[in-house]
Amino acid sequence: MKLIEKAVEWGTRRSPWIIHFNAGACNGCDIEVVDAMTPRFDLERAGIIKQGSPRHADVLVCTGAVSLQIRDRLVQIYEQMPDPKFVVAVGACACSGGIFKDCYCVEGGIDAVIPVDVYVPGCAVRPEALIAAITQLLEKLEDKEERGRLLAAQKVKKEALAAVRENGGAEYGE
């Protein structure tokens, strides 16, 4: 039993499948995300594959400030991913809202809605920064303490999310 758990943990570190989601970005970061997937950077070396379906993915690569329009969809996509799952916020807007912060139609950064594990600042980010972020996430997972902290923080945020949705979802639209 112990051996299988170890193998699973090893596998989680060696094969992060990513899904890319645009939560309201200007498309600058999106192009950089696509850029990072090209043969030049060869992310398959680290086992990274881009998936289309959230059910297949482990890492949600999210760009842009969260607009009110996309907020519920972002939560939906996040909830469609099976655990364990991780979120990478790509770009200044995704980290904090960027220049759209406090705009009338913007909720804020990605972490205003779902738990974020890695922040990648930049406008737009460089593909190298994105690759460094994902490899850092994987290194974090290697350390047992860090891994526990990461998953615990996710859990707290997720419970808060569930509570908000249960309370009629006034805050999260119909």
Partner 1 sequence: MTKLLQILLFPGLLFLLAYATTMEFIDRKLYARLQSRQGPPWYQPIADFFKLIGKKTLIPAEANQRMFRAIPLFSLTAVATAFLYIPVWGRQAVVSFEGDMVVVLYLLALPALSSFLAGWYSRSLYATVGATRVLTQMFSYEVPLFLSVLAPTLLSGTWSLSGNMAFFSRHPLLVLLNLPAMVSMLISVQCKLERTPFDAPEAETEIVSGPLVEYGGRYLAFFHVAKDCEVTVLLSMFAALFLPFSMGTPWVDFLLYLLKTGLLLSLTCLVRAVTARLRINQIVSFCWRYLLPPALLQVVLNLMVRGWIL
Binding footprint of partner 1 on the chain (CB under 8 A)? 4-5, 7-12, 14-15, 39-40, 42, 44-45, 47, 51-53, 55-56, 58, 80, 82-84
Q: Which is nearer to partner 1, 9 or 72 (CB)?
A: 9
The H or E element spanning position 141 is helix 127-142
Q: Which is nearer to partner 1, 52 or 168 (CB)?
A: 52
- Report how far residue 153's alpha carbon sits from residue 160's, in angstroms, rounded to the nearest whole number: 11
Question: 10 Å Cβ neighbour count for 122?
Answer: 15
- Report how far residue 108's alpha carbon sits from residue 34's, in angstroms, rounded to the nearest whole number: 24
DSSP characters over 116-135: -SEEE--TTPPHHHHHHHHH
How far, in Å, are 28, 49, 109, 110 from residue 53 at the CA level?
A: 23, 12, 23, 20
- Report how far residue 99's alpha carbon sits from residue 82's, in angstroms, rounded to the nearest whole number: 32
**Cβ 74 to partner 1 shortest distance, Å:** 17
Q: Residue 106 gets which letter from DSSP?
A: E
Q: Which is nearer to partner 1, 53 or 167 (CB)?
A: 53
Q: Which is nearer to partner 1, 21 or 119 (CB)?
A: 21
**Cβ 78 to partner 1 shortest distance, Å:** 12
**Cβ 43 to partner 1 shortest distance, Å:** 9
**Cβ 103 to partner 1 shortest distance, Å:** 31
Q: Which is nearer to partner 1, 71 or 85 (CB)?
A: 85
Please calculate the CA angle 80-82-83 and round it to the nearest 5 degrees.
135
**Cβ 107 to partner 1 shortest distance, Å:** 25
Tell me which amino acid residue 141 is: L
